[in-house]
Amino acid sequence: MIARLPGVWLGYDDSGRGTPLLLLHGFPHDRSVWGPVRGALAGRARCIAPDLRGFGESTTHGPFSMDQYADDLVALLDRLQLATVVVAGVSMGGYVAMALWRRHPGRMRALVLCNTRAEADDLEGRRKRDDLVTVARREGARAIATRLLPGMVGRSTRERRPEVVQQLQAVMARQPVAGIAGALVAMRDRPDSRDTLGTISVPTLVLAGEEDVLTPVADAERMAQALPPAAGARLEIVAEAGHMPCLERPSATTHALADFIASLDRPPSP
């Protein structure tokens, strides 16, 4: 489906019944990476999986920033007449989720931060983003996919599930160069979100892949520890998964999300 919104068109999937769950993809991906989880959650949640601006079937023009991505999503929620949602963001989607909390906290019922980090890029990280912008513009999306693929999946996936590796490579290779370059600049310039963590007052689940080398388990542990008591932070480590548990271990990821969503309706323990 395509939502024709003021200033932006967003491709999205909307399926299932139950608690509204907004699933945000990472870089340089599209909404298809949440497909296995979205299908498995169909009887427990209404899953809305959009393509962020610049990716998949969405608008390829800017402006590109974490705040802009967040505002685009609120426009989509307004179109779908959803007042509040559970927001789950993987990798760059986690950056967008934190921007959504800063700008529109009233739209968030709960939060899932998956394989992401709160820190802004350091100088070396910013330089690497700029280098990738050059690669994208000179050599295209396939070159970006080739460079990024080794860090995207864990050792177990590379050894046992080559079809997942191929699927993710194909997803990255088909993304628009304009969206890739725009997202790289948006990530390079994103604010540090460590202070944001301290303001979160909705239930929050932090997910991490045991074998993730891009955002290691230590990053997830720091985020969980930085969340205030109001967030009731939960930390889940997905075994034998790297940076993309939603593709590498969809059953385990689905179980973690389903249990978290179910907990939102449980009465608090005495």
Q: What DSSP string describes 139-206?
A: H-HHHHHHHHHHHHS-HHHHHH-HHHHHHHHHHHHTS-HHHHHHHHHHHHTPPP-HHHHTT--S-EEE
Burial (CB count within 10 angstroms: exposed 0-12, middle 13-18, buried 19+), residue 34: buried
Burial status of residue 270 (CB atoms within 10 A of its CB: 0-12, 13-18, 19 or more) = exposed
- Cα 52 to Cα 87: distance, rounded to the nearest angstrom: 14
pLDDT of residue 34: 97
Report residues of the chain scoring pLDDT below 50.
270
Compute the half-sphere exposure of residue 22: CA atoms within 13 Å on the CB side of its CA.
31
Check residue 265 and give its pLDDT.
83
pTM, rounded to two decimals? 0.96
- What's the CA gap between 60 and 182, in Å, rounded? 9
Hey, is 26 helix, strand or coil?
Answer: coil
Report d(CA 241, CA 101) in Å as an integer. 27
At residue 189, the pLDDT reads 98
The pLDDT assigned to 13 comes to 97
